[in-house]
Structure 1
């Protein structure tokens, strides 16, 4: 997701600027993607996190990173995040969370 030029730490306030807490969020991924550590421009086998894709009406699809491999609900499930935070770096915004669960 693109944003204005800003740089700050992860925060809840950044999430509220881009994701409407009143609108539903849907899972677009069927499984988590591993993120690997790079050293001198070369990928290592060390996994640094996992990420998956989500969408909300009026927004482009966005990724959320997790430190651990979370159990994802079914494709297109309505979800909520535990401790969702965002960070703005240059013209991009990135999100991370502790967990994701299906809303029943």
Structure 2
């Protein structure tokens, strides 16, 4: 399920991400495996991996998916994590997230 937008326009930004994900509350890792996003050519998937996706949760939010361009080290299930430069983009009625990486909070 995608988080519903607050109707802003523009590309990815940290400000938009902070409007949805509270940086002062813990974020939990829900994924046990990364989902691969394949590149497409001529409307067909290729063998090239374009990005990796994983699911996360925060109190008061529906679970949300974050895209990573580089393959991150996925922490164990329900670990508290921090994102490296979490950004969000609103497209139509959905919010999409991306980050440079994640790390488990000890």
Q: Same fold (TM over 0.5)?
A: yes
The aligned runs of 1:82-93 (5 Å cut-off) are 82-93=84-95
From the two aligned structures, give the one with the greater strand fraction: 1
The 1-side partners of 2:6 and 2:79 are apart by 30
Of the three residues 78, 85, 98, the one matched with 2:80 is 78
Question: Residues 4 and 90 of structure 1 are in contact (CA less than 8 Å); yes or no, is this contact kept in structure 2?
Answer: no
- Structure 1: which 5+ runs fail to align? none
The 2-side partners of 1:5 and 1:17 are apart by 12
The 2-side partners of 1:20 and 1:5 are apart by 18
Deviates more, 1:58-67 or 1:6-15: 6-15
The TM-score with structure 2 as length reference comes to 0.91
Alpha carbons of structure 1 residues 4 and 39: separation in structure 2 relative to 1, 3 Å? farther
1:68: Cα distance to partner? 0.9
Q: CA RMSD, aligned part only? A: 1.2
1:31: Cα distance to partner? 1.5
- Structure 2: which 5+ runs fail to align? none
The TM-score with structure 1 as length reference comes to 0.93
The 1-side partners of 2:31 and 2:73 are apart by 11
